[in-house]
Amino acid sequence: MEEDFVQKHKEYSLILDYPPFSTSLKKREEYQGDIRSEDARIISLIQNNDEKAYERMYSTLEAKWADDLEEARLYQKRYPKNPEEAQKVVLKMEGRENNTFADDNDLPMGLF
């Protein structure tokens, strides 16, 4: 069961390197915060020996971010182990290929 938690956490964390999370700082930070909140909730249940700790792990995160996660998984599948290329493609589609600034905060973007 604990291995399931570790695997899920890894899955949701690695997807951060793919669009739309790698092209929007605002979206990335909000998603990361939601991962941390869900991790804390699950860890608290585990520490309290709650039998339901492993049920529906990350279901709230999955529901809230369904569209973005689907998009990121598609990029991850198309560009396995090459999130930089996926990011370049999206920036080009958005007309931002000559700069790497986030559209929402005017901060430099790139893989973190």
User: What Cα–Cα distance (Å) separates residue 39 from each residue in 12, 17, 61?
Assistant: 11, 19, 10
Query: Domain containing 17: what range?
Result: 2-93
The count of domains in the chain is: 1
Instruction: Decide if 108 is inside a domain.
Output: no
Query: If pLDDT is split at 50, 70 and 90, which confidence band does 29 have?
Result: very high
pLDDT (average), residues 6-10: 93
| Banded pLDDT at 110 (limits 50, 70, 90) | low
Q: Note whether residue 35 is domain-resident.
A: yes
Mean pLDDT of the chain: 86
At 35-72, the pLDDT tens digits run 999 999 999 999 999 988 888 899 999 999 999 999 99
Please indicate, yes or no, if residue 10 is contained in any of the structural domains: yes
**Do the domain assignments include residue 88?**
yes
Higher pLDDT, 94 or 11: 11
